[in-house]
Structure 1
Amino acid sequence: IYLALAPKSNANYVAYKAARNAAKATGSKLPPKHILNAPTDLMKDQGYGTDYAYDHDAEDGFSG
């Protein structure tokens, strides 16, 4: 009964709507080419995967 009678807020809805609109307005960017894999020769020629640091080859298993 308490929850049914307690004051309500739409702050969560307003924040979610603002975040969704900001995401739509700004879009999303691709990660930098040097951290993406290059499964084809064409992608390698375009610069994908250059200077990629593989975590398991790095000291302590962490390249970042």
Structure 2
Amino acid sequence: MSPLLQLLHDHHLPTDDFGVMGHGLADHGRDYVFEIENCFDPARGTYLLTLTHVVEFDQCDRVE
């Protein structure tokens, strides 16, 4: 299991059904931060997910 999936599993968060309220590079430009909202029990709430030491990434936003 990937580290990201393990993190979501450990904190009882869904792997694919949550709202992304915001995302972008942290102020210092090294980390990437997601603000996610889970509307389902048992882990209902808003969370900040930080991917640290991001060296390179490609980003594509799409709404269908």
More helix, by proportion: 1
When Rg is computed on C-alpha atoms for both structures, the one with the higher figure is 1
TM bracket, shorter-chain basis: under 0.3
More strand, by proportion: 2
Considering Cα pairs closer than 8 Å and 6+ residues apart, tell me whether 1 or 2 has the greater RCO: 2
- TM (norm. structure 2) is 0.19
